[in-house]
Each structure stands twice: as structure tokens, then as C-alpha cells.
Structure 1
Amino acid sequence: MTFPPLHRARTPVALGTAFACTLLALVSCSNGGNGKGPTTTSAPPAATSAGPAAARILIENFAFSPANLHVRPGTKITVVNHDSASHTLTATGGKTFDTGNIAGDATATFTAPSAPGSYSYICTIHPNMKGTLTVG
């Protein structure tokens, strides 16, 4: 009676296939050891310009922040009033934009002019509050 060998001879092809499968399994499961899942090396998607961007101006402690804002033409600008008093954000000169009265803890929006330039603005209720919107 003869018994078959307990192990088969390993051929170079079988060893190469086993090594490739093991390597693939290790790479597929690897997360760099940080416990946060697989890592990626691709760059984040580039920003697209499907339309004008959005910007924000805060009113707090009777001041605009930022007082000087640079935006592209047609940008939608949200004005947030964190004061309890009402305020406005009104262009001086040609009155190109005006939010009207913004009650305390309320917001208003307006669209930046389409013509590039520098537009000074104030709060018509508190004229010491000043800022500049630069469109370009």
C-alpha cells in the first residue's frame, strides 16, 4: 500500500500566484495603521465656477466684519446682525446696494454690483459704522 505525499511540491507559478494573492489582500486591507479606513492619494476636486460665490459680513459690537471685503461681480452677500440693535448696510454715493433695516439677530442678503470698483458703505442708523466692498 502506498500513501500520497503529505504535501505537494510547490512550483514557481503556484508560489508566485500565492504571493500575489497575499500581497493584494494586504494592500486592499491596509489603512496606514491609523484606524480611519483606507487612505487616498487623489487630489481633491478642483473648485468649479458654476456661478458667483457667496460671502458673509457680520455685524457685531457696532462694527462690520470684515470691514473691507473683496468679491467677484454678482456675488451673493449675506449680512448677519449679531447685535440687538437694528442696522443697515448701505452703499454711499449712488446707493448701489442697501439691505434696509436688519433687526437684531436677523440676516439680509444683497448681490454685489456687476461693475468692478470700490464701493464704500455705512450703516445709515449708525453712520460711524463703515466699510468698503471691492468688486473685481
Structure 2
Amino acid sequence: MLLTTPRRGRTALATGACALLALTGCSNGGNGDGTAPASTSAAPTGSSAVPGAMRIVIENFTFSPADFQVRPGDKITVVNRDSASHTLTATGDKAFDTGTIGAGATATFTAPSTPGSYSYLCTIHPNMKGTLTVT
């Protein structure tokens, strides 16, 4: 009887481990067709997956990316992750301006139709700067 008890314990442990591995393998979030699941990032920066779209994140009083390139008429979404309000405003002729973006809010603007380099800043925090290049 003493010999069967340890064996049952090892068998139960091995069975449990196999079951756990099987469940983990089944819960990969895939499509069931062998393809890998799509990546889900809570904080993508830079170009978004949508053609003609761009995403800029404001965090720690910084634009990320600060310098970027778009095509004329592209939509640019600005996400404010700071606890303070910000703007993303073109300097000079004010070719674009998000207006005030509250803490945790987003705003969208359209890139100018004229190619060129456009400096921008946060009008509330002028030390926050960047450059939008339209090509």
C-alpha cells in the first residue's frame, strides 16, 4: 500500500501539469487557424495601423514622437496621458491646433495640405516642442 500512494501522487502531479500546459496552449488568443493573435498594445505611439493616420502621445510633458512625417490631409490623433491639460499648436501661421486637450482626453486634427515642415508646441507649456513634416 505504501508503494502505490507515492505513485498516485506523482501520477496526479504529472496529470495536473499536463492539464495546465494543455490549457495554456489552448488559451493563446489565436484565431483557431494557426495564426498568431494580433498584438494589443495599450500605448502605441508613432504610426497607427490605419493608413493615413498618426497617433501622438503626450506623457510626462513630452510629445511622443515629437518629430514625425505624414502626408497631406492625414488624420493625427493626440492622446494626453498627463494630469495637466495640453495643446498641440503649429507655430507661425497656426496651420493646425488641437485646442486644449484635458487630462486623459484625446483630440484629432488634419495635417496641412501644403507639404513642408511645421514646428509646433504646447501653448500652455511652451517648452514642449516638435516638428510635423508633410511630404
Residues 58-105 of structure 1 deviation map (CA, whole Å, 9 limit, x = unaligned): 100000000001000000000000001000000000000000100000
Kindly provide the amino acid, as one letter, of the partner of residue 66 in structure 1. P
Shift of 1:52: 6.4
Q: How many percent of aligned residue pairs carry the same amino acid?
A: 76
CA distance in 2, matches of 1:118, 1:135: 6
Shift of 1:53: 0.7
Q: Tell whether 2:95 aligns with 1:96.
A: yes
Match of 1:68 in 2: 67
Match of 1:120 in 2: 119
* 1:37–1:92 Cα change, 3 Å: closer
Kindly provide the amino acid, as one letter, of the partner of residue 76 in structure 1. K
* 1:73–1:84 Cα change, 3 Å: same
RMSD of equivalent CA atoms: 1.8
Alignment check: 8 A CA contact 1:75 1:111 kept: yes
Q: Which has the larger radius of gyration?
A: 1
Kindly provide the amino acid, as one letter, of the partner of residue 112 in structure 1. A
Structure 2 segments unaligned to the other structure (5+ residues): 1-31, 36-49
Kindly provide the amino acid, as one letter, of the partner of residue 108 in structure 1. A
CA distance in 1, matches of 2:33, 2:130: 47
CA distance in 2, matches of 1:38, 1:95: 50
* 1:64–1:37 Cα change, 3 Å: closer
- The number of residue pairs the alignment matches comes to 90
